[in-house]
Structure formats: structure tokens, C-alpha cells
Amino acid sequence: MRRFADAARSGVRRARDAGARAILLLVHGPNGKASYANAAAVAALAGAGSLWEPLEAREAFGDAIEPVQTLGIAEVGGEFAESTAEWIEATAAGLRLARDLAGTEPERMAPPRFAEYVQAAFRGTKVKVTVQKDVKKLQREYPLLMAVARASLGVPRHRPCVVRLEYVPKGKVVRTVLLAGKGLTYDTGGADLKTDGHMAGMSRDKGGAAAVAGLVLAAAKLALPGVRVVAELGVVRNSIGSDAFVSDEIIASHAGCRVRIGTTDADGRLVLADLLSHLRLDAAQAEGPHLFSVATLTGHSGRAVGPYNIALDNGPARAFATAETLMQIGDLVGDPFEVSRLRREDFDFVQPRSKADDTLSCNNLPSSGTARGHQFPMAFLCLASGLVKHGTDSAVPLPFTHIDIGGSGCEGGDWQHGRPSGRPLVTMLATLFGALPPA
């Protein structure tokens, strides 16, 4: 499927560079092979995405930077239906929002401006957008998130916020999807400062929140029935300064878990833990809930599996085979997943070393040099968010799937210059909402 996408990108860009302003993308059909049934839709999405130029460029040069006005799709040996075109238009809009949010430099997309951009994107939709930016309320309700943000508070334009999105479909709600998105608009590493050039590209550490925002936008544009969506985006800058939080601090999470900080560079999991704790309370009262976290969380994910999304399930999510389903559908829509497993060693890794705390956030080595470096953070998320109390044997089991896009968030794994991919939006849209391209 990705070969179709590669060919479409190459062809559409070549036509644009040759001066075309209206392009017809001709896709040879699957010849009856079910595994290629979505080939034309995948090619169309890739062709449309290839025309995206960074927000900074569009704001500097205007519409001329994206000269193509029309992209048409035709399928040889098949029929490219209008309903498929509508699906592509909505999905492409979600991907465009995700790329804009993830790929834009840290001042243009500092937390308050990130929130403003999201609000503008959802204007006129059925999605309710609220932005919590009151420092005292955030300190009370999101204590781990605010520890990460502490050194940023002295600079008003860098102050954090939590963006909450809610989509309620018409008719009966049968399932509720609850999404936590990591939105580190810049990650210096904090007091455990990133050195040796590793800070470059850290404006893309907001790719999880960006993908979640794009997913909600696509779902709302398609007016998908039956599924309520609640998302919280933790939009924070991890700055370095005299008030920065430091390793060895013990901070109680929103769920009341006492977290000992192992390194301040493991910031995303702190943000996600508080978001998930809030969503956990929503989920306990929701119809058919399933929680997800989406984050550029670890370098280990890219080292372990290369340019693929990784999904890990807790016990209740495994009962639904969620990670495996993401993998299967990802192959069909050209947005592939690998599956990892949460193991007892992961909980052992973050167990407290004394009675002063309940869990350790991380060791003080890079994840890429740590055994099970992308798996054990999920164990921390379960503990710090309180989701560990909602396992298979609990009175209120809550399915939770953690998605690490540390290897897939930027094309070619180039965090400084690579194009943001918008992943895993397409697979999540198709899986969670049954929203494969219409046949």
C-alpha cells in the first residue's frame, strides 16, 4: 500500500514542479485483491499531503507557495465514488491540521498560540473546544504537567494550557473514545539538558497532540455516528531555568500517585499521566469507553522498529485485541503499526525504591540505550494515572492503549527537517470509527 503512496507523492510533486495547477492522479486498481482495496484512497491522501507546505512558509509567501488548485482522482478498473472523495477530503483536513501543529517552530506554535490555532481549526464544527490556562487551576488539577511547565511560567508566551475537545454525534452513543495527546511545544530536556545537538528538532515533540487534534477534526467532518470523542491535549514547554523541576523531586499526580523524578527529560509521560487521570474519571461514567495516549514518547521506539507506530494494550484492551486490530487495519490504509506487549519487567522497572514514593518516572539514561525503553513508560502511565486500578480483575475495567510515534512522527526519522507525517491519524480513524474509505 505504501508503494501506491510513494508513487502518488512523486508524481504529484513532479506535476506541480512542472507548472501544473490542476492535476489528475490516475491509479491502477487492485485487480480484485482485497488487501489493495483502498489503493486509490491511499494514493489520493498521499498526493494531497505531498502538496502541503509548512505554515511558516504559507504565512510568509501566501497562497502562491501551494499553487495546485485541484487534485482529481481516477481509478483504472474501478469506480472512485463521491463518498470516497468526501472521506479523503475530511481525512486530508485532519492530516493538514496535524502537520501544521506538529511541524511549526516553537515560537509560532508556543502553547497559547497552539491553542488558538486549534480553536480556529474547529470553528464551525460540532466539536466543543475549551482551553484551560489558569495557572492556579492547572497546578491543582495537573500537578505533573505543571512541574514540567514550571520554568516556563516566567515567560507569558510560553505558559502551558490544556486543550479539551469533545465531539458528540447525533443519535445514540454506543462507544466513547478518550484520547490524551502529548504536546511538548519545545523540549530542552529541562534541568537534565539535552546536549550534543540533541535539542534540535524538539519543536516536533508535540506530534502526539497534533495527531489527536487532526483525528478529532476528521471524525467531526465525517459526522461519524455512534462514537463520542473526548480528547485532552497537554500543551507545554519544558524550559530550563532557575525554577526548573529537577531529578529526585517527588510530585503527587492528579491520581494521587507519588512520582519520583528520574530525569526531567522524561517529561511527556508526566504530562500524559495527568491527562489520562482526568480521562479515567470521564471513562468510568462513559458508554463503552476506550482510552488512548498518543505521543512522540521515546527514541527507543524508532530504534526498536524503525518508522512504524507502536501500540501497547493493557489487559482490558488486549481482550478487544486493539493493538492487533490497529496493526491489521494499518496495513490496509498504508499507516502501519507494530505491536508491543506490556510485561511484569516494565512494572518492576518503575517500582519505588523506598516508601517515600509510589513510582519512579524513569531511569537517567536515554531510552534508546535502555532495555524495553518504549515498553516500561506505559507501566508508569498506568501507575501514575490511576489506570492500574482498572485492570481486567477490577470492578471497573477500562481498556487503555498507548501509542508511541517516536519513530513515525516525521518522515525519514528526521526530527529537525523531516516533514511531519500526521501519523497515526489514518489508521486510528479507520479503526476506532469503522471509517475505512467507502467502497
- Catalytic site positions: 194, 269
Instruction: Find how far residue 75's CA is from the centre of its chain.
Output: 31
DSSP letter assigned to residue 55: H
- Between strands 309-313 and 400-404, the pairing is antiparallel
CA dist list (Å): 323 to 143, 236, 336: 30, 28, 11
Q: Using alpha carbons only, what angle is made at residue 337 by residues 231 and 345, rounded to the nearest 5 degrees? A: 85
Return d(Cα 223, Cα 217) in angstroms, integer.
Answer: 10
Return d(Cα 382, Cα 84) in angstroms, integer.
Answer: 38
Tell me how long the chain is: 439
C-alpha cell at 153: 511560567
Return d(Cα 135, Cα 175) in angstroms, integer.
Answer: 33
Q: Bridge-partner residues for 73, per DSSP?
A: 25
- Between strands 258-260 and 250-252, the pairing is antiparallel
CB 101 within 8 A of CB 206: yes
- Other Cβ atoms closer than 10 A to 196: 5
